[in-house]
Structure 1
Amino acid sequence: MPAISFFNESVSYKLPNKLKLKKWIKSTIEKEGYNLEQLNFIFCSDEYLLGINQQFLNHDTYTDIITFDNSEVEKLIIGDIFISIERVKENAKIYKTNDFDEVCRIIIHGTLHLLGYKDKGKIAKTLMTDKENEYLAMREL
C-alpha cells in the first residue's frame, strides 16, 4: 500500500490539508511515470537538519531541505525528505509568500529530486523551477 507520511522532529509544526497534499504529491509522482511505495516528510529545526547535513553529506551549512532516495528499483519512490521549518519561514519572508505556499514548494522540490530532477547548474535549476511551478499550479487546496 503506497504511503506518504508527515512527521515532526525537534519542531512543533501542524501541516494543513494533509489528505489533499498527499493526493497532489501522489499525482505528481504518477504524472512523471513513477510508482510510489513510501515517502516520508520530516519537518525539523535548522539545527536538526544541520546535523544531518554534517553527518551524511559532510556539509557544514544550513539548508532548507535534504532528500534521501532509498529506492534501489528504477521508477519506484522510497524516500525521506527532511525540511527545516525555520528555513521555510525565512524563505517565505524573502520571497514574499506565505509559509504554507513555501512549504508546498519545498515539498514538491524534494519530490522532484526523487523523480530525477537536479538543481545544480543554471539549466537544471531553471527546469527544476519550471517543474515546481507546473505542479504548484495543479494543487487543489
Structure 2
Amino acid sequence: MIDIAITSRQDLLSIDADLLAEACRRIVAGAGHTQAAISVTLVDDTQMHELNRKHLDHDYPTDVLSFPLSEPDGPLEGEIIASAGTAMSNAQDYGHRAEEELLLYVVHGALHLVGLDDKTPAAATKMREAESYWLTDLGIPHDRARSLVYPTEPTTCEGDPTR
C-alpha cells in the first residue's frame, strides 16, 4: 500500500489534496515501490525559512524540501515540505498558475524521494524531464508542463534557492 498524507499549514493558496496525493502515488509506483508512507506538508515562506535554517543551515526559504526516512530494505518513507508562498510568487513571476507551481514542487520532492537528484547538469536534465513527464501524466498539457519545468534557463538545486 502506498499511503500519502497531505497537511496544509498555510492559508495562502487553496489546494487540491487529492491531486497532490495522486502525484506522489504515481511517482512512487512508477519507481517500482509497492509500499510507501509519504507525508506532504504545505507551508508559507516564513515556516519554510525556519525549516531551511534548522535542517540545511540556509538562511532563506526554498520552494521544496524532501527528507528520505526509509530504513535499508524497508518500504519507502519520506517527507515533502512545499512552500505555497514561493509557489504564489514564482507563479506570478513566470506567468503560471500557483496551483500548478505547487504541484511541480511536490512532484520534484517525490522524485527526490525515489532517488533522482539534480546536483549535476546531467542529473538536473533527467530531473526536469521526469518533472515534465509526471506533470503531463497528471493532466497538465505538455507545453504548459514544459514551461513550468523550464521557466528560465535550466539550473540545478545546488545554490539556487528557487529551484
TM-score, normalised by the number of residues in structure 2: 0.77
Counterpart in 1 of 2:6? Answer: 6
Contact 1:26 1:36 in 2 (8 A): no
**2: distance between equivalents of 1:135 and 1:75?**
25
Aligned counterparts, 1:45-84, within 5 A: 45-74=44-73, 76-84=75-83
* SS state at 2:15 partner: coil
The 3 A distance-change label for structure 1 pair 59 and 21 is closer
* C-alpha separation in 2, matches of 1:95 and 1:22: 25
Structure 2: gaps (5+ residues):
141-163
Other structure's SS at 1:131 match? helix
Q: Deviations over 1:15-43 (max 9, x none)?
A: 12x33442342122111112342111111
Question: CA separation in 2, counterparts of 1:107 and 1:130?
Answer: 15
Alignment of 1:114-129 (within 5 A): 114-129=113-128
Aligned length: 139
Shift, 1:126, TM fit: 1.1
Unaligned 5+ runs, structure 1: none
| Equivalent position SS for 1:97 | coil
Q: Percent identity?
A: 24
Equivalent position of 2:130 in the other structure: 131
Shift of residue 77, structure 1, vs aligned partner: 2.1
Q: Secondary structure at the match of 2:95?
A: coil
Instruction: Give the strand-richer structure, 1 or 2.
Output: 1
Q: How far apart are residue 75 of structure 1 and its match?
A: 7.3
TM-align CA RMSD: 1.9
Residue of structure 1 in register with 2:91 after alignment: 92
